Structure formats: structure tokens, C-alpha cells
Amino acid sequence: MKPSGLIAPGAPLPPPHRAALVLLFALVAVLSLRQVGSIDTGFHLKAGEHLLSGGGWPRTDPFTFTINDHPYIDTSWGYQVVLALIQGRFDAPGLVLFHAALALAVFLVLYRTARLAPVDSTTLVTLFALGAVACEMRFEARPELASWLFLALTLHILHRRAVGLAASLPALAALHLVWANTHGLFVLGWGAIACFVIGDWIRQRRFDRHLMAWGLASVAVTLVNPYGWRGALFPFTLATRLRGENLFGQSIGEFVSPFDLGLSSQFPFYPRLPIHAFQLLAVLAVVALVPLLRRKRYECALVLIPFWALASMMIRNIPLLVVAGLAPLAWGAPLSGLMAAMRLRARTREIAARFAASAVALAAIVLGLRVYHDAYYIASRRADRFGVSWNHLILPIDAARYADKVGLDGPMLNHLNFGGYLMWARPQRVFIDGRLEVAGEEFYKDYQNVLANEGDMEACVARFGIEWIVFPYDTNPKLLGRLSKDARWRLAYADHLAAIFVRDGPLAGRFVDPALALEAGAPPPDDLLPGIGALPRVSRLTRWARGLVRVEEFPFDDFHRGLFHFFRGDLARAQRSFASAALASSGAYYEIYSDLGAVYYRQGRFAQAAGCYRVVLRDDPGNKVAKERLASMPAPPPGGPTR
């Protein structure tokens, strides 16, 4: 069959589309081979080790010293046991490869599902590319990848039955039994079954009693979990905490809608490509509803609507539209039909299909190379990195080793993002971690107040006997500045990510302010800074092309140490670090110049600050801070510097 026509189930795709599909699977593999950096991985490993050591299924929280009386329903215990076994045998490489295998399995099932009915080959590879890119932000060591696979398998069985093929309905119950003991999203399977039952009733005006029976069985088997009916209903309790008006929904980035990111000039970077891929898929899903309804594929339309809504609510749900919608989209919006409606000649349609397949294949190669060389992640300033190791840019690995080395074993106040890793990497219990369903809104609000207010901090120290604090200073600049000026706290450690302060007393006497040992020597001369002095900045095109052939590096250490000193008010050291970062990167990243300009501005070196802000505006013409600073600076004296 010609590339522009529909491909029958079981028939091979045309060679250009087959090659594109192979490259897309390779792209999924490259995107999912990502260093372990999820802040949740630590507590999953800790829970798995707790179960394997005979600790039993927890009823209250055993991993913190602050909320150990809070109820804890661990719906991910099965995943956690598997994770702990893999880590114990293969460490980080095993974790990365396991989750990469899950991601590949998901897309393999999605492909098999799409091929259950005639499909346009160009539409299929295009949707596959959009789906892979849209999902990639969630390719992490998290149990939701297992949920994607269970949902994809559930829908595959249901679609097989809907098109008249043999389908093992008892497998639905078996899947839900395992799913309910792996991750809390098993309720999505219930919703998918309901969509097919209702869709069949709309079409035939009768219920599929066999499907209904096994659907009810799939609900009933979820009661077989360590917590009984509480475990089966717990996802509904958790769902109330993810709403936009909820405290968690208002303060956690992954709960933000992909249609309302709330970006600002202060935080201009986000992964544009996956967000735009999702937005395009969301539009196509709306468009596909009409032809699906016209063909009486009611179950497909009913699946698209709720999963579209869930994915549109928050970024963490984006993959749900891909998993539930890829096959219905492939059937409901074939590009071949669009080209036929445009009255294009058959030869023209064939050439267009081949060109589209080649474009998808080329895009997969280019994107894969940029991911492999980390250029893709650095372009949106993400700390994700390609590889099979632990991610030192996200997890407090170095800080944990330091704490072990010097014997920091008293009660700590840790940042939420660090809690999961610290509870696993160290023997001590933590203050808080990412299990917000355990913390609850009240404790989470108290925790936020402790970080924000000196009075709440002192009350917390008195209540829990806090002896040290560890936190990421780039997201808590006010806390770093406040503690640096507070005689009751002494800086004990600082690296590219974390700062540790110890409470003044016998313990504090063992530490010398590590900032004194950081960044020795003079900063690079101003006239050597690319874009300000004689040296040119590396061009965007050169930087982009370089990401295809060699590993791209962001000057993470210098840049973050500059932030550390800037937040502490040490402008000389901040200038040295930012200038070193600009020189090491050949002036590639304008946010370095934005921060260096802020240092010069505070030092009263307005000519140098103006040069930095002009660099910023060349890359980001709408940057509000740069415009305001340039407008507020005094004019240079006649004959004075103009750069």
C-alpha cells in the first residue's frame, strides 16, 4: 500500500516510516537514559529496604522524626521492593535501565494498539514523535512509569475487544491486582473500563455484560492490598490535594497546568519543546473527536475527554493524554484524509508522506544527539543529564557524604527536595520529604513558615532540638542571607548545590567558615569577558551545532557559587565566580551576565553593569530587569567607557 494510504493491521509500514519509527524508539531510549535525579527516588528506596528488612507495611510514617504519628498508606510498596532489589544489585545503572525499559515498553504497547485498526503511517509516526517528546519530562525513576504501562496494557485489551479481536478480559483483573500494589494511579484503569462500557452502550443500546463483570472484578481485586478498602480509596483522597486551590497545587511546579505556566522574567527557562508537543497533541485530540464520533467510535471519544482534562490540569499528567490518546488520535485524524480532502494528486500525497517521514527521522536523530550531549537539557537550563549514574546536580550527594564524614547525626532541618535522598543515604530520620500525602497541608504550611521567618525558625529549633540545617541555596536565597548574618548559626559546608549551617554551641566550634576557602585569586579582567571586552561571545548557531558533536557543559559550579556569595552579600567573590563562569562558557549563557550585572550594579560599577545588561537584552530583548537597570544608571562621562 502506498505511504499516503491507510495501512491495514498486520501490514508493514512503508520503509521511510518504518525507519522513522525505529529512530523514534531509539530517541525514547536516549531520553529515558537519564541520570537518577528524582527527589522521590530516595524515599522509595528507603521504603523498599524497610519492607525487605522485615519492617512490615507502615501504618504511620517511620522515616521522619517530626510527623511519625501521621497515617501512611504506602500504595507504591510493590514498586519500592523491586526498586530496592535492583539498586542493591546494580545501583544507579540498574535503576536507569529499569525505568528506560518501562518507557520503551509503554511506547511499544502504544504502537501495537494503534495497529489494531487501519492507520495512516504518516500520522502514526508524527503522533509517536510528539508523544515521545511530550512525555520526556517525566522519564524519571518514579512509579508512574509503571502506571503508564499498566494503563497502556489495559487500553490495549479494551481496544482489541472494541474492534472485534480476541481479548483476555480476565487479564484486566490481574493487571489491576498488581497495579493496586504498585502505584496509586490504578483508578485510571477503572475509568478506562467505564469509558468502553458506556461507549458500547451508546452504540448498541445495551451493556457488554461480560466486560462489565470483569470491570467490576478489576475494581474488587484492588481491595487485595495491605490496607484493604483504605488503600483502594486512597487515590481519591490524594486527588483532593492536587487541585489548583490546594496549598500543594499552589506551590509545587509539577502541579502547574501546561497551559498556564506562570513564567516571569526572573524564571524565563522551561522545556519548551515538550510543552509545545503536548499543546499540539491537545489541539489534535479536540479535532479528532468529530471524526471519531462520526464513525461511532464512542469509546475512543470518551477516553480522550477525561484524559485530556487530566493532562491539561498539571504538567505531571501530560503522559496520560499520550498513553490514552495516541491510538484514538491515529485513527481519528489521518493526514492522508486531510490531503485527499485538499484534492492533492496521489503522487503529490505520496511525496508529502515520504518527506514527512524523513523529517521525523531527521528530527529524531538531531534531538537524540543533542540529548546524548546534554545540549538539549542545558538549552532550558535543566539539571537533567544523560547517563546511568546518580545526578549530583540535583541530589545532595556531596552534602550527605560530608555530613557522614564529620558526624552530623543530630536532628536536622532539611529542605523538602533533599529529604528523600537524605533519609535513604544516611541513618538519621529527616524533618520532611516529598511524601506530601503524609505531611498534610498543615505541617507543610508550618514548614514553609519555618524557612521564611526567623521567629518560626527559632520555635522549630526549640521544639525539635534542631542542630543543623541543609538546603539548596539557589531556591532559598533569603534563608541563606538570613542565616549568614545570624550569630546563632555557623556555616559549616557549601558546594555547588547545598549549604549546611550548624547551631552555635559545642558542635559549631569544630567548623571553619568554608566560604573563606572558596575561589582564591583575582577575577578575570573585565576586558577578557566575552561580549563585554575584546573577546566575542560564541554564537547561538555555533553553540547549537556544537551540541550535535560534543558534550555541552554549563558552568554549574562557578555559577552557583556566584549565587552563593551574592546571596550572602560577598560581592567580590560573587564577581569572581560569575566572571569565571562567563569566561569558561565563552559567554554562551545570558543569565550569567544578568547576575554579573547585578553584582556590578551593587558595586556602583555602572559601565560594566551596562555592558552585562546589553548582553542580556541581545538574547532576551524583553528582559524587564535589564531594561530597568539600564534606564536607571547614570550616563557615562564624556569620553568615558561606553561598553
Report pLDDT digits (tens) over 464-475: 999 999 999 999
What's the gap between Cα 99 and its chain centre?
Answer: 14
Residue (of 128, 147, 636, 577) closest to 356 by Cα position: 128
Q: What is the mean pLDDT of residues 180-191?
A: 96
Please, which residues have CB within 8 angstroms of residue 425's CB and are 6 or more apart in sequence? 42, 397, 400
The band of 257, judged by pLDDT with boundaries at 50, 70 and 90, is confident
Residue 640, pLDDT > 90, answer no
The band of 21, judged by pLDDT with boundaries at 50, 70 and 90, is very high
Q: What is the mean pLDDT of residues 392-398?
A: 97
pLDDT of residue 253: 65
pLDDT of residue 248: 61
pLDDT of residue 242: 56
pLDDT of residue 637: 55
pLDDT of residue 252: 65
pLDDT of residue 436: 86
562: cell is 556566584
User: How many C-alpha atoms does 57 have within 13 Å on its Cβ side?
Assistant: 12
Q: What is the mean pLDDT of residues 21-37?
A: 98
162: cell is 472494541
Question: What does the mean pLDDT of the chain come to?
Answer: 90
Residue 461, pLDDT > 80, answer yes
Q: What is the mean pLDDT of residues 208-220?
A: 96
pLDDT of residue 243: 55
Coil/strand/helix, residue 59? coil
pLDDT of residue 521: 64
More confident residue, 106 or 239: 106
Please, which residues have CB within 8 angstroms of residue 613's CB and are 6 or more apart in sequence? 593, 594, 597, 623, 626, 629, 630
Residue (of 43, 67, 56) closest to 226 by Cα position: 56
pLDDT of residue 122: 92
Residue 266, pLDDT > 50, answer no
Q: How far apart are CA 305 and CA 588, in angstroms?
A: 43
Residue 334, pLDDT > 70, answer no
pLDDT of residue 498: 97
Report pLDDT digits (tens) over 365-377: 999 999 999 999 9
Residue 451, pLDDT > 80, answer yes
Q: What is the mean pLDDT of residues 443-460?
A: 95
In terms of DSSP bridges, do strands 412-414 and 468-472 run parallel, antiparallel, or are they unpaired?
A: parallel
Percent of all residues in the chain with a pLDDT value above 70, rounded to a whole number: 90
Q: How far apart are CA 4 and CA 336, in angstroms?
A: 6
pLDDT of residue 245: 55
Q: What is the mean pLDDT of residues 72-76?
A: 94
Report pLDDT digits (tens) over 421-433: 999 999 999 999 9
Report pLDDT digits (tens) over 545-602: 999 999 999 999 999 999 999 999 999 999 999 999 999 999 999 999 999 999 999 9
User: How many C-alpha atoms does 590 have within 13 Å on its Cβ side?
Assistant: 23
pLDDT of residue 3: 39
pLDDT of residue 205: 86
The band of 332, judged by pLDDT with boundaries at 50, 70 and 90, is confident
Percent of all residues in the chain with a pLDDT value above 90, rounded to a whole number: 79
Residue (of 287, 5, 273) closest to 122 by Cα position: 5
pLDDT of residue 36: 98
The pTM assigned to this predicted structure is: 0.92
